Amino acid sequence: MNSRQRNVLIRMLIALGIFVYVGYVAYQQLPRFDFTVIFSFFLLYLVWTIIMEVWIYKDPESYVIEDDDSKSYLYLQLSYFIALFYAAIDFVELHWTRAAYLEPAIIYAGFILFLISCIIRWWGFNSIGTYFNPRVAIYEEHKLITTGAYKNIRHPLYLGSLISFIAIPLIFNSWGALLIILCATVPALVYRINIEEALMEKHFGDAYLDYKSKTKRMIPGIW
């Protein structure tokens, strides 16, 4: 077991402990439907994390030679977790922006979107292989991936992430969380895309410019 796998195992055990505790408290205090939503999301999130870290993610085969993340990963994760935290609290206790009259249809739609996001991210991870990095980075002998999920759009992983970002407020029926996603997380994602594309242009030059001319960022034929 390498250091990454060991860290993943530790994170998963911590997350499992938190999920069990929150699930127990929720079971004692929440209506049956609310508890089912919370438990189902925790279970889906945990299963996806296991699949991604154990079966999908591939350790890099070479070293990073250039890194220009510019704190974009930090901004993206921070805004996302703020939205997730608000969504959960709003659903369970506050009910400030929970529109009960839309349930359960809006919650089912959120779960469907989250599953779609997992499929898109799985395709993206398999297409990019060992070149994936949570930071904006260039590896030794880095190759430009233009096949698979990257054939028509340049950022399929970000597309999957965007869909999952939108799915969370729907699952918890929190329009306040959706507002946070639209006003904070989406701009952070666009900021990260701009940084990544600038680094790709710097490293790959005309090859990347030609690739850009034939593809869209995340939505085929639109953007």
Contact assessment for residue 160 and residue 86, using Cβ atoms and an 8 Å cutoff: no
Q: Give the distance, in angstroms, between the CA of residue 169 and the centroid of all CA atoms in the same chain.
A: 14
The tokens of 125 are what?
A: 């991870």
Place 98 in a pLDDT band, splitting at 50, 70 and 90.
very high
Is the four-CA dihedral 180, 181, 183, 185 of positive or negative sign?
A: positive
3-class SS shares of the chain: helix, strand, coil, % to 5:
75, 5, 20
Q: What is the mean pLDDT of residues 161-183?
A: 95
Give the residue carrying structure tokens 């306040």.
176
Place 163 in a pLDDT band, splitting at 50, 70 and 90.
very high
Whether the per-residue pLDDT at 4 is higher than 60: the answer is: no
Higher pLDDT, 220 or 188: 188
In a 13 Å sphere around the CA of 75, the CA atoms on its Cβ side amount to 16
Q: What percent of the chain shows pLDDT beyond 90?
A: 50
Cα end-to-end span (Å), the chain: 41
Give the pLDDT of residue 7. 60
Give the pLDDT of residue 140. 85
The partner residues of 174 in beta bridges, in order of sequence, read 98
Q: Is CATH 1.20.120.1630 correct for 63-214?
A: yes
The tokens of 2 are what?
A: 């390498």
Contact assessment for residue 132 and residue 155, using Cβ atoms and an 8 Å cutoff: no
Question: pTM for the full model?
Answer: 0.87
Of 67-71, 104-108, 126-130, the least confident: 67-71
Place 43 in a pLDDT band, splitting at 50, 70 and 90.
confident
Q: What is the mean pLDDT of residues 154-160?
A: 95
* Residue pLDDT, tens place only, 6-40: 666 676 676 677 667 767 777 777 888 888 888 89
Place 208 in a pLDDT band, splitting at 50, 70 and 90.
very high
Contact assessment for residue 161 and residue 124, using Cβ atoms and an 8 Å cutoff: no
* Residues found in the chain: 223
Burial zone of 159 (CB within 10 Å; 0-12 exposed, 13-18 middle, 19+ buried): buried
Q: What is the mean pLDDT of residues 65-71?
A: 84
Higher pLDDT, 151 or 52: 151
